[in-house]
Amino acid sequence: MLRLGIIGTGWIADQFVEAAHATKRWQLSAVYSRRMKRAKEFGSKYSEDIVYFDRLSDFFQSDSFDVVYIASPNSLHFEQAKAAIMAGKHAIVEKPITSNPQEMSQLIKILRRHPQQFLFEAARHYHEENFKAVQQAVQGMEEIQGATLTYMKYSSRYDAFLEGKNPNVFSPDFAGGALQDLGVYMVYDALAWFGVPDSVNYYATKLNNGIDGKGIAIFNYPQFEVTLQFGKTANSYLPGEIYGKKETIVMDNAADLNEVYIVNGEGEKTIISELADNNPMLAEVIDFADVLENPDSLEARDIADEWLAMSVEVNKVMYKLRYYAKIEFPSDYEEE
């Protein structure tokens, strides 16, 4: 049984724990929150055998867990993942794994000094069967002429921002914004399905604090372009499309991928998606468990290295997009 520690007590941490417990291969055993009351409120619904912490140093020194899932604000991911690895814990970090390539590079160096530990980015859709179905369909295309991918959801925290509050998801201090929260899904899509682009552009619609509320990114490849539209200040119901010679791959949206089908030149539709899991995190917790339960397997190590290599490339592209749009975070200027 994999013993799980949690940093972060929001809905996404609940969803991760529920997925992990559904596999019967994980057990929540430790919870950290800055407020002890909140930590206990989070963990008490899962088990009575959980250790609670309100000091991060005590949490990482504990022998009550082996793997930590980090679901804190984006700007805290790097320091917490670093502390986890140095404490001999495996780290699963909610996307985006770090705020910039400098932080990512430091994590890789630390990981090399602790070769027994694993580091995963929790990009849930990357592990789903429907994501892989799109990837295989793209590989089977005779020609690719481009793609349009969309993911826009009105944030539950946007009203608070409009009222003058400063929620983390819209704060540059916490590495927030549409690209970091939603655009990252489509950066994964583009890199996994089409490879690393030659260049990228990002036309961001900024809020009054300089963070991106929504935007359009263009990935330039030698023979085609991929357009990404994402945002947290409006809702979109546009499907995503990938254009072949005559056929088109259509998906309900570029992050959830609940329905995916191919339309041929005659307009005939062939569904290639499977029924999605009730919990969208189920696929990733199974994949992570497969690796963590076989730490000495060369195959498992190779798979983990492949995931991490993709995380590194996604991180680089995310930074290039921010740089193009002149979106800056305080961590961009911190020295190693």
Q: Are 334 and 130 in contact (CB under 8 A)?
A: no
Look at residue 19 in the predicted model and tell me its pLDDT.
98
Which token pair is 34?
Answer: 């800055």
pLDDT, tens digit, 9 for 90 and up, residues 248-294: 999 999 999 999 999 999 999 999 999 988 999 999 999 999 999 99
pLDDT tens digits along 154-194: 999 999 999 999 999 999 999 999 999 999 999 999 999 99
pLDDT at position 15 over 70: yes
- Alpha helix segments (H runs only) across the chain: 11-23, 36-43, 56-61, 77-86, 101-113, 129-139, 158-162, 178, 184-194, 282-292, 298-325
Chain-centroid distance of CA 176 in Å reads 13
Confidence of residue 335 (pLDDT cuts 50, 70, 90): low
- 54-76: b (≥16 Cβ within 10 Å) or e: bebeebbebebbbbbbbbbbbbb
- Name the 3-class secondary structure at 211: coil
Q: Where are the beta strands (DSSP E) in 189-275?
A: 199-206, 212-220, 225-231, 240-243, 248-251, 260-263, 269-271
Tokens representing 2 are 């994999």
The mean of the pLDDT values for the chain is 97
Please tell me the pTM assigned to this model. Answer: 0.96
Q: Are 298 and 87 in contact (CB under 8 A)?
A: no
In DSSP terms, 150 is beta-bridged to: 229
Q: Which domains can be identified in the chain, with CATH numbers?
A: 2-125+281-333 (3.40.50.720), 129-271 (3.30.360.10)
- Among residues 216, 73, 190, 178, which one has the least CA distance to residue 125? 190
> Is the model more confident about 336 or about 323?
323
Token pair, residue 119, equals 């580091």
Nearest to 155 by CA among 133, 177, 137: 177
Task: Look at 333 and 132; give whichever has higher pLDDT.
Answer: 132
pLDDT of 208-253, one tens digit each? 999 999 999 999 999 999 999 999 999 999 999 999 999 999 999 9
Confidence of residue 320 (pLDDT cuts 50, 70, 90): very high
Q: Which two tokens stand for residue 74?
A: 């984006």
Residues 197 and 190 sit within 8 Å (Cβ to Cβ): yes
Quick one: pLDDT at residue 138?
98
Task: Look up residue 332 and give its two tokens.
Answer: 């961009």
Residue type, 263: V
Confidence of residue 336 (pLDDT cuts 50, 70, 90): low
